[in-house]
Amino acid sequence: TMIQYQTLTEMLDHRSRGAGAIGYLEGEGAEKTLPLASLRKRALGILHHLQRIGARPGDMLILHVASNEQFIDAYWACLYGGIVPVPVAVGISDEHKQKLLRIARQLGDPLLYTDRKLRDRLAAFADSQGSPETWQALQARTFLVDQLDDISREGTPAQVTTDQTAFIQFSSGSTSEPKGVVLTHGNILANAEGAKQAAGFSEHDTSLSWMPLTHDMGLIGFHLMMMYAGVRQYLMPTDLFVRRALLWMKFASDKKVTITCSPNFGYRHYLRALGDKTLEGVELAAVRLIFNGAEPISVELAEEFLDRMAPYGLRRNAMFPVYGLAEASLAVSFPPPGSDYRYITVDRRSLGVGARAQQVAPDDPNALKLMCEGKPIPYTSVRLVADSGAEVAPDHVGHLLM
pLDDT given for residue 134 in this prediction = 85
pLDDT digits (tens, 9 = 90+) for 95-134: 889 889 999 999 989 999 999 999 999 999 998 887 788 8
> Could you give the maximum distance between any two Cα atoms of the chain, in Å?
68
Question: What is the four-CA torsion angle of 120, 124, 126, 127, rounded to 10 degrees?
Answer: 140
pLDDT given for residue 176 in this prediction = 65
pLDDT given for residue 402 in this prediction = 82
Strands 30-35, 21-27: parallel, antiparallel or unpaired by DSSP? antiparallel
Sheet of strand 111-114: strand arrangement: 84-87, 60-63, 111-114, 142-144
Please list the pLDDT of the chain residue by residue as tens digits (402 residues).
Answer: 699 999 999 999 999 999 999 999 999 989 999 999 999 999 999 999 999 999 999 999 999 999 999 999 999 999 999 999 999 999 888 888 988 999 999 998 999 999 999 999 999 999 888 778 889 999 999 999 998 888 889 999 999 999 999 999 987 654 567 889 999 999 999 999 999 999 999 999 999 999 999 999 999 999 999 999 999 999 999 999 999 999 999 999 999 999 999 999 999 999 999 999 999 999 999 999 999 998 889 999 999 999 999 999 999 999 999 999 888 889 999 999 999 999 999 999 999 988 999 999 999 999 999 999 999 999 999 999 999 999 999 999 999 888
pLDDT given for residue 246 in this prediction = 98
H/E element holding 85?
strand 84-87
pLDDT given for residue 177 in this prediction = 76
At 191, give phi and psi (nearest 5°). -65, -35
**Predicted structure pTM score:** 0.96
pLDDT given for residue 132 in this prediction = 80
**C-beta atoms surrounding 324 within 10 Å:** 25
CA angle 259, 265, 271 (to 5 degrees): 80
pLDDT given for residue 175 in this prediction = 54
